[in-house]
Amino acid sequence: MTRSPGTPRTRGRLRRRLSAATGALALAVGLLTAGAPTASAVGLTQVTGFGSNPGNLAMYTYAPDGLAAGRPLVIALHGCLQSAADYHGHSGWAQFADRYGFALVYPQTNSTNNALSCFRWFDSAQSTRGRGEALSVRQMVDTAVARYGSDPGRVFVTGLSAGGGQAANLLADYPDVFAGGAVDSGLPAQCATTQGGASGCQYSGQNLSPKQWGDKVRSSYPGWTGPYPRVAIWQGTADTTVKPVNGTELRDQWTDVRGISQTASRTRDLSGGTTLSEYEDPSGRPAVQLYSIAGMAHGLAVDPGSGTGQCGATGAYYLDTICSSYHTALFWGLDGTGGDGGGTTLPAPTGLVVTGTTDTTVTLGWSPVGGAVSYEVRRGGAKVGGVTGTGFTDTGLTAGTGYSYTVAAVDSAGTAGTRSAAVTATTTGHAARCFTANNYDQVAAGRAHTGGGHAYANGSEQDMGLYNLFTTHTLKETAADYYVIADSGC
């Protein structure tokens, strides 16, 4: 845990506060840095009367001038001893709201709720659906959607540290509200439900399986049967306030909820010593991202500057590494690309066609894309090949079966661009099918016929025995209306 500089009196006040609040408030220790910059609240508007507000939070909003209706909405939760204005001024979210066109809501807690103004991610009375702070944020969403005409299908939530832990809870509590989220140096959803359990979450792994982590999300809204949000996870490898194991546990939790593997679909290096691991859903779209930043301590990753992918301002726990807000915005599709997560400029390949088929292969061809170093081929959403040329042959297929293919160009950073329109190819030959039934039903289904009191397989004319309900066979269709007995295995 990083201890900030300051006078003995400052450190004494810190110790007294921590002794009053115990482990959960340790998230804020480093935020008491003497002389930390104070962000401007330019453009922020406080909104009151947004609901019953059981969590006793304040609501601040920011929206670009002339914002059209139907645009996304982002909820951004500050860290301990921070404020809405501080987060607005440092995180970089405001510049992307201007660039891409969306509204921002900054919930703000206070020292009355918590001695160090931490969101109470560890308190089940504040972090569960329909209660406390969680419900207050839900009411802010409704108010902002009405105020700005935001698209209710494109509402996202992000947060730092304790705000990140509460963001994870909100994603679990309200999968019907949030399309995606980002947890920056935060905790898994419902990791702790009491203040006493918070320190264990921060400082050590919980030794839970992915399913056990996923169950915490599923139990947050037991009646939910729809899709779960897409989640980006940001974690520094040198974080001593929220240990890096939390990033892994968040990965386990949200991949399990999405029903996908905990093995990365792809891994690539970004700026600032950042390694991005992506976990794709069956369609090939990144559903979970884990950003691990080498050597970064506890805080929000920013990258001040005027470049396209730069943002924010450094300060107490705003660390100069990489612009997390930019990459999160791309992952959510706020830039209008659909959120495939790459941030690449490579367009979709055109001219994808099927150039040949056999009973076990499909051959494809497409037009080249400028700047591509290779191409990624997917069958039914699953990656089946990577090639440097503009042709590919898929092998080991089943005869007489249809398959769908897409292709994406890959740049020098290993980032796949927009996928092409799909094409469908059907292999030649006949797809063998097997049917197990009694002889009476086989005849009734048209797979066999009768003669002299026996049943005979169509095509092969194999004797199946007496034509009755008590003799059962498996018939294998090896060609159109040609069946053989396959009782020994099909």
Catalytically active residues are 161
Tokens 């293919």 label which residue?
405
Q: How far is CA 321 from CA 13, 95, 262, 318, in A?
A: 31, 18, 26, 9
Q: What one-character-per-residue DSSP string does 397-465 give? A: PPTT-EEEEEEEEE-TTS-B-PPPPPEEEE-SS---EEEEEEHHHHHHTTSEEEETTEEEETBT--EEE
Beta strand pairing call for 274-280 and 266-270:
antiparallel
User: Which of 98, 112, 93 minimizes the C-alpha distance to 327?
Assistant: 93
Q: How far is CA 393 from the centre of its chain?
A: 31
Q: How many CB atoms lie within 10 A of CB 44?
A: 19
DSSP annotation of 370 = T
Helix axes 162-173, 132-148, angle to 10 degrees: 80
Phi, psi (deg, nearest 5) at residue 256: -65, -45
- The alpha carbon of residue 304 and the mean position of all alpha carbons in its chain are separated, in whole angstroms, by 26
**CA 375 – CA 377 distance, rounded (Å):** 6
Alpha carbons 474 and 460: distance in angstroms, whole number: 14
| Burial class of residue 4 (count of CB atoms within 10 Å of its CB; 0-12, 13-18, 19+) | middle
Give CA–CA dist 480/363, Å, rounded: 25
- Residue 473: helix, strand or coil by DSSP? strand
> Do residues 447 and 441 make contact, with C-beta atoms less than 8 angstroms apart?
no
Closest CA to 403 of 375, 429, 381, 430: 381
User: Following DSSP, what letter does each residue of 119-184 receive, concatenated?
Assistant: --TT-HHHHSTTSHHHHHHHHHHHHHHHHHT--TTSEEEEEETHHHHHHHHHHHH-TTT-SEEEEE
Q: At residue 30, what are phi and psi to the nearest 5 degrees?
A: -70, -15
Q: What are phi and psi of 446, to 5 degrees?
A: 85, 15
